[in-house]
Structure formats: C-alpha cells, structure tokens
Amino acid sequence: MQAEYTGRQITITPALRRLGDEGIERIARLLPKAVGAHIVLTSEKSRKTADVTVKMRAGKIVGFSESYSIETALREALTRAETQAVRSRKRTHTIKRQPKEEKLPHEVMPVRARKGIRTRAEDEETQGAVAATRTNGRRTGKEVVPVTVHTFPARSPVTEPHVVRSADSVALRPMTIDEAVKEAEFRDRDVFVFRNHAGTVCVLHRKRDGKMELIEAP
C-alpha cells in the first residue's frame, strides 16, 4: 500500500520516506481492508509533529505525535497507529468467533422424581441408617454432621501500584480548550494536562460515558 506524504515547512527526505513506508507496511499486514495512507509532517521553531492517517473501507485510524525531532515524532505516530490497528483486528476476530443463537446447545432441565414413589433399595438404605444410630437398644446415638472449616491467610495480600510515566499526556505550549480536546483525541489519551493562555493549569479527563471533564487548578 502506497502512502502519500505532505511536508509543511520541511522537506521529505528519503530516510523519512523509508521509515514511513516500513511502518505503513506493518499496519497493512494487520488491516487487509486498508485502502490508503497519508502522512503529514510539520516543522515549527521547537515543535515537530507527525500525523499518520490510514483509511479503511469503514472508518480510519489516526496516529499523532509531537516531539523535538521529526524522526522521533514519526516513529511514535506510526507506533500509535499500529496499536490501534491491533485493537481493531482483535475486535473483528472476537465478533466473528461468537456462535449464532441457533447453534447454542439447548439446556436440559432435570426431571424431579414424584413424591411417594420409592424403590425397595431406598427403603432398605433408610432402615439401615436408623439401625446404625442405635447402640445396645438403650439410647439413640448422635448423628455425625460434617463441618466445613475455612482457613484465611494471616495477612491480606497488598497489591503494589504499577506506575508508568507518560510524557505524551502533557502539552508543551498553551492552547485553548478546543485545541486541547482535539490534541487529546489525536494522542488517544483519557487524561490530558495543558495550560491555557492565562497560564492556568487545566486537566481534561474522559469520563465513563465518553464526555470530557475539565478540571482547572486553583
């Protein structure tokens, strides 16, 4: 699959084109329904960005990255796009492997025996159990009742938190709320920290219902 390149204030060198072609080839192996790819490289004073878009028959995959080096930004953008391609492939395989309703086995309900109908063997077992509880014909012995004993650990296991540092969730320049929302979508982040033009630290947090929550530091 051939990729289209667009350079904004930057020249697309053969090394960048070779790096982009290798990443697009890996993504094309995961997504056989991909029909095209577009890579946009932008260079500013101290900000290099790479935007990778892979078009499919139904939807598209976008990978965005920002760094001080254009090679690093392009490599990270391709990695994010490849991660989304792996998720899309797993989701497609999970949907295809689910069985249809008509192929599910029907549950067989157990048939309860009628009350009052007892076999001769059951009567003999009951009489034998009653006779076993008597001793010397004087008194009735106590029935043995099994008791289940549960053991608990002396100390409850404590799970240590797994902390991973992330530099992609923090903006390097001041931006508006709309720009921050778009940046969080491009970076595929549920939490995004930025500063507005007034210098206030703000945090965007994606809730469970999909809405973005804005938190301003006092």
Could you tell me which of 174, 197, 196, 178 has the C-alpha nearest to residue 186?
178
CATH code of the domain covering residue 181: 3.30.505.50
- Tell me whether residue 121 is in a domain: no
**Residue 111: band (very low, low, confident or very high) from pLDDT cuts 50, 70, 90:** low
- Tell me whether residue 204 is in a domain: yes
**pTM for this model (two decimals):** 0.41
Of 93, 125, 145, the residue at which a domain comes to its end is 93
What is the tens place of the pLDDT at every residue in 189-210? 888 888 888 888 898 888 888 7
How many folded domains does the chain comprise? 2
Backbone φ and ψ of 116, nearest 5°: 95, -15
Alpha carbon 5 to its chain's center: 31
What is the tens place of the pLDDT at every residue in 128-156? 555 555 555 555 556 777 777 666 565 66
CATH code of the domain covering residue 86: 3.30.160.100
- Tell me whether residue 142 is in a domain: no
Which of residues 196 and 159 earns the better pLDDT score?
196
CA–CA distance, 179 with 82 (Å, rounded to integer): 24
Strand-pairing partners, residue 52, are 39, 63
85-87-88 Cα angle (round to 5): 65
Whole domain around residue 41: which residue ranges? Answer: 3-93
- Tell me whether residue 186 is in a domain: yes
Residue 107: pLDDT over 60: no
What is the tens place of the pLDDT at every residue in 27-73? 888 887 778 888 899 988 778 899 998 888 777 888 888 888 888 88
- Tell me whether residue 152 is in a domain: no
Of 93, 108, 128, the residue at which a domain comes to its end is 93
- Which pLDDT value is given to residue 134? 53
Of 37, 61, 93, the residue at which a domain comes to its end is 93
- Tell me whether residue 56 is in a domain: yes
